[in-house]
């Protein structure tokens, strides 16, 4: 036995720690639904008793929720009450913050519904695609990904000044796999000279996107339509193509065509922004957060037919489409790769 080998008891504890994540995921979502994170963010120091009175919740249940959240470093003590642990006021308690992730737990609870069928799918090799899921799932995903375009404009673009200037100068933007249209409206509002077109193969998402465009009064500059990226046939109609968590969702059988479709749509020198996860290429990346999360995504999206590509595979997809990697950066678990049409 090597000196570093963990003991049996340590391994039991590790397993319990892993299972804790399942329960804390539920706690995160229950507290969001009850308004607990937002109230503690607005009133640091609030006691569980006061919180229960204000939110109409059972006092002992509320006390236990706060103590459990404290046990897992989500809350900190303040006087005889509670405040959010550092940065969780933004991450969990401020829905319009760029860094809000308060709906991530809800998505993973939706994703978790697939596990019931997983043993059967392992045996028969069947798939149940993203688009096969019900409205509750599609809407939960859309709500949770709303901040990705904000992260692009607020955190990533300042590191990519050439691309930022291009948006500001009035780019014609294509958002590939636009989902519920959050990127379309965000980019159009942030950069008033742009026009933004979204395509997606999922019809309910396109309905949501067109509703959102109308509700923001952006119908003159934004549009969304049902279409697979692999069928894009316009020549040089766009300056920038964006994609948020889409490349790993494009069916492997059409992915090369999709990259070629996007490339065809771009003007020479146009940029394809790939905002997605890339699968770890080394054991070190596989065993470390946040790169490990991409491996977890490949696991929980396995039976959707998705393939989380490695960085080398993304390079190859770009090269065969006549795109060359011009720039790249990271944000937590995401790789942001900018490929330019030659």
Which chain residues interact with ligand SAM by CB under 6 A? 130-131, 141-142, 145, 148, 176-180, 182, 199-202, 205, 228-230, 244-246, 249-250, 254, 258
Instruction: Between 82 and 182, name the residue whose CB sits nearer to ligand SAM.
Output: 182
User: Which residue, 75 or 142, is less far from ligand SAM as judged by CB?
Assistant: 142
* Smallest separation (angstroms) from ligand SAM to the CB of 280: 20
Residue 274's nearest CA partner among 234, 223, 317, 235 is 317
* Minimum distance from residue 229 beta carbon to ligand SAM (Å): 4
Q: Which phi and psi angles does 277 have, rounded to 5°? A: -90, 155
Complex with ligand SAM: residue 24 or 302, whichever CB lies closer: 302
Query: How far is the C-alpha of 185 from the C-alpha of 214, rounded, in Å?
Result: 10
Q: How far is CA 329 from CA 28, 179, 235, in A?
A: 29, 23, 28
Note the Cα 139 to chain centre separation in Å: 13
**Quick one: which of 88, 83, 116 has its CA closest to 101?**
88
If the CB atoms of residues 36 and 141 are measured against ligand SAM, the closer one turns out to be 141
CB of 275 to ligand SAM, least distance (A): 8
Angle of CA points 115, 104, 93, to nearest 5°: 150
Neighbours of 282 (CB within 10 A): 9
Q: Which is nearer to ligand SAM, 178 or 335 (CB)?
A: 178
The DSSP call for residue 282 is S
Smallest separation, CB 19 to ligand SAM (Å): 27
How far apart, in whole angstroms, are the C-alpha atoms of residue 102 and residue 44?
18
- Min separation Cβ 114 and ligand SAM, Å: 14
């Amino acid at each position: 036995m090597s000196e570093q080998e963990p003991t049996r008891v340590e391994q039991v504890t590790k397993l319990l720690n892993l299972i804790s994540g399942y329960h804390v995921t539920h706690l995160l979502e229950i507290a969001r639904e009850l308004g607990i994170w937002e109230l503690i963010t607005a009133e640091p120091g609030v006691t569980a008793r006061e919180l229960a009175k204000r939110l109409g919740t059972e006092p002992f249940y509320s006390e236990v929720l706060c103590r459990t959240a404290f046990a897992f470093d989500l809350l900190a003590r303040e006087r005889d009450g509670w405040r959010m642990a550092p940065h969780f006021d933004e991450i969990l308690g401020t829905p319009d913050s760029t860094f809000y992730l308060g709906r991530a737990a809800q998505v993973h609870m939706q994703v978790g519904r697939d596990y019931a069928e997983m043993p059967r799918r392992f045996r028969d090799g069947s798939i149940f695609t993203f688009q096969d899921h019900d409205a509750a799932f599609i809407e939960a995903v859309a709500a949770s990904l709303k901040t990705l375009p904000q992260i692009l404009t607020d955190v990533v673009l300042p590191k990519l000044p050439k691309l930022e200037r291009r948006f500001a100068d009035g780019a014609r933007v294509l958002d590939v796999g636009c989902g519920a249209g959050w990127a379309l409206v965000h980019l159009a509002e942030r950069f008033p000279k742009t026009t933004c077109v979204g395509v997606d193969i999922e019809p309910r998402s396109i309905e949501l996107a067109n509703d959102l465009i109308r509700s923001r009064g952006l119908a003159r500059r934004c549009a969304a339509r049902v279409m697979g990226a692999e069928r894009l046939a316009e020549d040089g109609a766009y300056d920038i193509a964006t994609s948020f968590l889409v490349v790993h969702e494009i069916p492997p059988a059409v992915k090369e065509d999709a990259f070629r479709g996007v490339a065809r749509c771009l003007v020479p020198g146009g940029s394809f922004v790939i905002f997605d996860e890339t699968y770890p290429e080394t054991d070190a990346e596989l065993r470390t957060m946040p790169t490990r999360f991409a491996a977890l995504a490949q696991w929980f999206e396995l039976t959707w037919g998705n393939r989380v590509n490695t960085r080398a595979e993304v390079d190859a997809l770009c090269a065969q489409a006549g795109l060359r990697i011009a720039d790249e950066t990271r944000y937590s678990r995401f790789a942001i790769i900018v490929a330019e049409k030659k």
